[in-house]
Amino acid sequence: MHNKIRFWSHLSAQAFIFFTAIFFLLPLGIANDNSQDVKEKNQDSAVKFRGFGTLGIARSSSDQASFIRDASQPQGISNGNWSARIDSILGGQVNWQLTNEVMLVGQAVSRLRYNKKRTPELTWAYARWEAMPDTSIRIGRLGADFMMLADSRLVGYASLTARPPADFFGPLFFHHFDGVDASITKPAAGGLARFKIFAGKTQEKTVDGQNIWDISGSQVNGVVADYWQGPWQLRLNFAQVKFSNSLDVSPLPDLLNSAGSILGLPSAFAAADALETKNTTSRFYSLGVVYDSSGLQAQGMANCIHHEAGLLQNSCAGYALVGYRQGAFTPYVGLSAWKSTARGKITGLPAVAPFDSVNFAFGSAMNLSHADQHTLTVGARWDVKPNVAFKIQWDAIRGNSQSVFPVRDEQAGWNGKTNVFSVVSDFVF
């Protein structure tokens, strides 16, 4: 009962934003309406329901850690057991063209979430206003456009690979935010340039191992610049998030503060501060290039993430992917890498009992977000029908024993290496 009340209070906040957006945008659209155009629009159904999904099974060879798709997943796959856990997704979307200029969009997706459940989640719920064909304003729940292709990474059918490269998209646990974005597209330098800004607040929870991290209420904003010319697309992205809450690493901060008081050690207080993520900002910088022509697809992307919080390690990642269509088959090969930098912070506490256990716990916490690995990906996509694709993929992940952020449930013997074999079926309807 209590959960139900919380669910409805949460939903009503989302609904409030959505309907407020409609309230303000609807009159704008109607005011600019052309009755002939509306009549034409009405001939093509004004309400469209569409869906997408992935049925996928995968196995990861290591029995020392579980492979996950991205940092939002609480559980992974391991020990050579086939599982549909990480890749299976089902989404439905309704688009309602209210007027020529205003469209309402709602999307719900069922996938493995922070709480190990697949309860459908409202991923998009917004009103889009296109006053002119080259401008767009969206208000409501929107996709977090933190990196190129990030806001469509749950739609397997749209991608060449079985899943988005985990080395690149792995650290992204944001999928949506409640707010606004605005974009404008103009011809420039023989091609097309698009500029977009966005701002809002997240309404998500994520997980780090066993600890749920409630990041709802965190402020996000960013800018995106795209450029298209012929088969080329170039994207520059900047986004930042200011966290509303700290990741729960209790009782470690209290222990450090107590030890600092007893021993009069400022370094212990500094170590406790480093564990706080509340009110710290993380910044995401990324660059993407896509070439797509006559069956040849190539993508190259790079990102760097900088965190103010000492608990979260700064990282950079990149990937290159090439696929070439042969009839209905598109074999592909990719290489990706993800590396973070350890902070090198110490507590300054003596290496004797009982402080040695605090030092150990601090060292483990500071290594929670460490990644140092690269992946070779080989696979093929088979377009069985114009709306169904099968994919098989093999990923050889090679990292070091400290690379624990990209996995779950790592054991003492984790050596950073595993092979993942995936068979997926993606569809849209």
Spatial CA neighbour of 271 closest among 285, 252, 289? 252
Q: Put residue 344 in one of left, alpha, beta given phi > 0 → left and psi -120 to 50 → alpha.
A: left
Q: Is the peptide bond before 386 cis (omega within 30 degrees of 0)?
A: no
Q: How far is the CB of 67 from other proteins (least distance, A)?
A: 25
Q: How far is the CB of 55 from other proteins (least distance, A)?
A: 16
Q: How far is the CB of 191 from other proteins (least distance, A)?
A: 8
Query: What DSSP state is assigned to residue 170?
Result: T
Q: State how far the Cα of 173 lies from the Cα of 22, in Å rounded to an integer.
A: 28
Q: What is the torsion angle, in degrees rounded to the nearest 10, for the CA atoms of residue 149, residue 87, residue 114 and residue 168?
A: -40
Query: What DSSP state is assigned to residue 85?
Result: T
The length of the chain in residues reads 429
> Of the two residues 20 and 250, which places its CB atom closer to other proteins in the complex?
20
> Of the two residues 286 and 347, which places its CB atom closer to other proteins in the complex?
286
Q: State how far the Cα of 71 lies from the Cα of 192, in Å rounded to an integer.
A: 34
> Of the two residues 217 and 295, which places its CB atom closer to other proteins in the complex?
295
Q: Which two tokens stand for residue 337?
A: 């890498």
- For residue 426, what are the β-bridge partners? 54, 389
Q: How far is the CB of 141 from other proteins (least distance, A)?
A: 10
Which residues are near other proteins by CB under 8 A?
36-37, 40, 44, 50, 52, 91, 93, 95, 97, 103, 105, 107, 124, 126, 128, 132-134, 136, 138, 142-143, 149, 151-152, 154-155, 157-159, 185, 187, 192, 194, 228, 230, 293-295, 325, 328, 383, 385-387, 389, 428
Q: Which two tokens stand for residue 215?
A: 């990041």
- For residue 206, what are the β-bridge partners? 213
Q: How far is the CB of 332 from other proteins (least distance, A)?
A: 13
Q: How far is the CB of 53 from other proteins (least distance, A)?
A: 11
> Of the two residues 10 and 50, which places its CB atom closer to other proteins in the complex?
50
Pairing of the two strands 66-67 and 407-408: antiparallel
Q: How far is the CB of 316 from other proteins (least distance, A)?
A: 25
> Of the two residues 157 and 332, which places its CB atom closer to other proteins in the complex?
157
> Of the two residues 152 and 419, which places its CB atom closer to other proteins in the complex?
152
SS (HEC) of 385-406: ECCEEEEEEEEEEEECCCCCCC
Q: How far is the CB of 303 from other proteins (least distance, A)?
A: 18
> Of the two residues 114 and 124, which places its CB atom closer to other proteins in the complex?
124
Spatial CA neighbour of 68 closest among 148, 143, 172, 161? 172
Q: State how far the Cα of 368 lies from the Cα of 309, in Å rounded to an integer.
A: 13
> Of the two residues 143 and 179, which places its CB atom closer to other proteins in the complex?
143
Q: How far is the CB of 208 from other proteins (least distance, A)?
A: 27
> Of the two residues 128 and 408, which places its CB atom closer to other proteins in the complex?
128
Decide: helix, strand or coil at residue 214. strand
> Considering just the CA atoms, what is the radius of gyration of the chain in Å?
23
C-alpha distances (whole Å) from 315 to each of 43, 98, 282, 369, 377 are 51, 44, 11, 9, 21
Q: How far is the CB of 25 from other proteins (least distance, A)?
A: 15
> Of the two residues 124 and 269, which places its CB atom closer to other proteins in the complex?
124
